[in-house]
Amino acid sequence: MNADFKIDGIKLETERLVLRAFKDSDLNDFYEYASEDGVGEMAGWKHHESMEETKDILDLFIKEDETFAIFLKGNNKVIGSVGVEKYGMEDKLTEFSNYKGREIGYVLSKDYWGKGIMPEAVNAVIHYLFHTQSLDFLICGYYDFNNQSKRVQEKLGFKPYRKLTLNTSMGTNENGVLNLLLNPDKNIVLKFSHKETLIYRPFES
């Protein structure tokens, strides 16, 4: 089941980053990376075409309080985000009926690709969700064309879970993979549903 989650003023700090809730003052930084062609597209959404569009999304982030801004200490600016989102198909994925989890989504400015920033940021969020919020599992996905995201999730210990056709906000359908990460401090036994899309190993017969 989807766990309840709000950032609620929490700040997570790593060597290079602070992860915190978005603020109104982040608008220019947010637009700078969200308007870059190819950034949103890697995550299934079209890059922003106006400051007004970015402002609408920023207002939503602030209202929902589920998306961390990635603040880079070295240059004092927001360069991306990590969302702790409700996962879809909750009623169909019955293996999680007795466990609490969420889906992780993320995006990063092109200027900082290949520098290890995203694994650093997401790892801090995972640690918080597992060890402070006591979630049982996390889901994270990528489209087949996004090898960078695939590598990030592999580094963080996610395992291939389901092979699916995923919808994008651009109105297209793309093949992709959902990955699964279980809280290592818990004894979690899953009885998987819908084995026609399942690629997780091992699984119960």
Domains and CATH numbers, the chain: 12-140 (3.40.630.30)
pTM metric for this prediction: 0.92
- Average confidence (pLDDT) over 85-108: 94
Summarize pLDDT for 34-45 with one digit per residue, the tens: 888 766 667 666
Element (H, E) at 84: strand 77-85
Question: What is the Rg, in whole angstroms, of the alpha carbon atoms belonging to the chain?
Answer: 17
φ, ψ (nearest 5 deg) of residue 46: -75, 140
Q: Which of 58, 103, 98 is nearest to 82 (CA)?
A: 103
**Is residue 97 predicted with pLDDT exceeding 60?**
yes
Confidence of residue 79 (pLDDT cuts 50, 70, 90): very high
Q: Which of 16, 135, 49, 24 is nearest to 84 (CA)?
A: 135
Query: What confidence score (pLDDT) does residue 203 get?
Result: 45
Instruction: Give the separation between CA 12 and CA 189, rounded to whole angstroms.
Output: 30
Summarize pLDDT for 108-167 with one digit per residue, the tens: 999 999 999 999 999 999 999 999 999 999 999 998 888 888 999 999 999 999 998 877
**Is residue 15 predicted with pLDDT exceeding 80?**
yes
Contact between 198 and 158 under an 8 Å Cβ cutoff? The reply is no
Contact between 129 and 102 under an 8 Å Cβ cutoff? The reply is yes
Instruction: Return the amino acid letter for 52.
Output: E
Query: What confidence score (pLDDT) does residue 204 get?
Result: 43
Query: What confidence score (pLDDT) does residue 173 get?
Result: 82
Instruction: Give the separation between CA 111 and CA 99, rounded to whole angstroms.
Output: 38
Query: What confidence score (pLDDT) does residue 40 get?
Result: 63
Instruction: Give the separation between CA 157 and CA 67, rounded to whole angstroms.
Output: 21
Residues of the chain by 3-state class (helix, strand, coil), percent to 5: 30, 30, 45
